[in-house]
A and B are shown apart, each in its own frame.
Chain A
C-alpha cells in the first residue's frame, strides 16, 4: 500500500463484510508524543477471541477465494516498522475496533494519502452505509458524519453526483487545513 488512505479503503471492507452498517474512522496526529493514530471502528458482527488473536497472521483469512489475507498483516507490519503497534478489540455481536499506532516522524511512516478518494470509492460502492470521519491534530479537528448529511439531504441519496462532489472536496480541503504544518507530506 502506498498510503494510509488505501489501508483505510481496504480495512473498511473487512467491516462491511462483517455486516457493519456504520464505520467510524479517525486519523489523529499527536506531535507531542510523535505518534499518528489511525482508528477504525464498526458495528459489525465482531470476532470470537480465537480468531481475534490470530487475525493479523497472513495465513488466516475468512475469504474463500484464496488462503491468504494480507490486509491486517500489512498494517501491523507498517505499525511495527515505525515503532508503533496494532491493537484490536472485538466483541461478538457488538463490533470491532482497530487502533494502528505509527511513529509520526518515522521515515517509514506512509503519508495519509487522499482520504477524499477513499471516501469517494466507499460512498459510491454502497450509499446505504453510514460513516463518520474525524481528522485531528493538536487543537484542530474536522468531523464529517454521513448521518448528519442525510438529515440535510432528506430523500436525495448519498451517491448523488453533487453530494459526492461536496463530500470529497470538503474532505480534501479539511485534510490540508487540519494536517498542514503537522504532517510533513502536506504542503499548505
Chain B
C-alpha cells in the first residue's frame, strides 16, 4: 500500500530535474461534456496526456472544455497553435489521439482525414 511519505521522495526528485516547463505555447482542448464523455472522450484525453509526456513535448498543455456544439462528432479535440490558429479533430479514439500527437504535434503535419472538414465532406457525399 502506498503512503503519503512517498510524495516527499517525488517532491525531491521533481525539484532536482526542473526541466523548464514551457507553459502553454500550444494547447489541446478536449470536449468533455456529457456528450463527449459518453462518446469516449476520457481515454482520448488521457492518451493525449500520456503520449505528450512520453515524447517530452513540454510546450503543449492539455485541458478540457464543455460541449463544443457538434455532439454527433464527439469525441472532439481542438489543437491551438502558438499563433492562435486552430485545427478541430472529430470522432476520436485513443489510436487517433496517438496519431495526432505523432503527426501533428511532433511533426507539424495536420491529420487531414481526422478533421471536422473531412468529416463534413464525407457526410455530404454519403
Q: Given that A6-B42, A69-B34, A163-B14 are known contacts, is A152 also in contact with B2, CB under 8 Å in the complex?
A: no
Tell me if A13 and B63 are in contact (CB < 8 A): no
Dominant SS among interface residues on chain B: helix
- The stretch from B64-72, B78-86, B116-124 touching chain A is B64-72
* Chain A residues near B (Cβ < 8 Å): 1, 6, 9-10, 13, 17, 63, 65-66, 69-71, 74, 117-118, 120-121, 124-126, 148-149, 152-156, 160-163, 166, 169-170, 173-174, 177
Q: How far is the CB of A76 from chain B (nearest CB, A)?
A: 13
* Chain B residues near A (Cβ < 8 Å): 1-2, 4-8, 10-11, 13-15, 32-35, 37-38, 42-43, 45-46, 49, 53, 62-64, 66-69, 71
Tell me if B11 and A6 are in contact (CB < 8 A): no
Q: How far is the CB of B40 from chain A (nearest CB, A)?
A: 9
Q: How far is the CB of B118 from chain A (nearest CB, A)?
A: 22
Dominant SS among interface residues on chain A: helix
Instruction: List B contacts of A6 (CB < 8 A).
Output: 37-38, 42
Tell me if A153 and B67 are in contact (CB < 8 A): no
